[in-house]
Amino acid sequence: MNVLEAIENRISTRAYLDRSVEKEVIQKILDTARWSPSGVNTQPWQVAVVQGDKLRQLSEEFLRLSTEGVKPAPDYDYYPGEWVDPYKQRRFQCGMELYRALGIGREDKEKRIEAALNNYRFFGAPVSLFFFIDRRLGKGSWLDMGMFIQSVMLAARGLGLGTCPQASTADYPDMVREKLQISDRNLLLCGMALGYADESHPVNQYRTEREPVEAFSSWYD
């Protein structure tokens, strides 16, 4: 698979096979992604690879906090406080398509809640990657982190694995830092489910639309 195919075929995988991922494969993904660019070669990325009992413990704690009504307290605002178009409409359409793929009706609140909680189960993936950045760094390093995270997803795709970047698993950063014994100096950006995709699951069959090049580009000669 070439890089163009990896970019075009990557999806947010939300159902995984009950199959472990070898340490050597994860190591290869990160070994490839470390060549991502960063301003003055700062290489701001820090990654916690979580699996096995520790992943189950984190999942249980995420679910407990959520079901007990503990309000998420992420380190930063991933989404805007007030949605405006066209972003509001795209968000709505994305949600509707996801629920449709899962066979969840618009009025079925119980199933919608359960679908949301699957984020905290990492969608059944055997591995979760948590991405941290030193709080002392500037906004440019956040751009570097985005490029690194994309490189991780493309490397995983090239090795036949699925991924799903998850802002949701940064909802309770203090808990994650405590469980993983990560310094408070490190801000939690997001998590990422990683594993072998269950290609037969309906949730992995749908694709969100993308705007054509003409809609977001301006050309100057």
Token output for 19: 């199959």
Q: What is the mean pLDDT of residues 85-98?
A: 93
pTM of the shown model: 0.95
Task: Give the per-residue SS3 of 97-163.
Answer: HHHHHHCCCCCCHHHHHHHHHHHHHHHHCCEEEEEEEECCCCHHHHHHHHHHHHHHHHHHHHCCCEE
187 has a pLDDT exceeding 90: yes
CA distance 177 to 135: 14
Q: In the chain, what are the domain boundaries?
A: 3-207
Topology at the third CATH level for domain 3-207: NADH Oxidase (3.40.109)
In this prediction, residue 107 carries a pLDDT of: 81
Strand, coil or helix: 72: coil
Q: What is the mean pLDDT of residues 161-188?
A: 98
Whose tokens are 């009025």? That residue is: 107
105-159 pLDDT, tens digit each: 878 888 888 989 999 999 999 999 999 999 999 999 999 999 999 999 999 999 9
In this prediction, residue 139 carries a pLDDT of: 96
Spatial CA neighbour of 178 closest among 57, 64, 77: 57
27 has a pLDDT exceeding 90: yes
In this prediction, residue 109 carries a pLDDT of: 86
CA distance 216 to 97: 23
Reported as type and span, the H/E element at residue 173 is helix 173-180
Q: What is the mean pLDDT of residues 3-12?
A: 94
Pair 186, 134: CB distance under 8 Å: yes
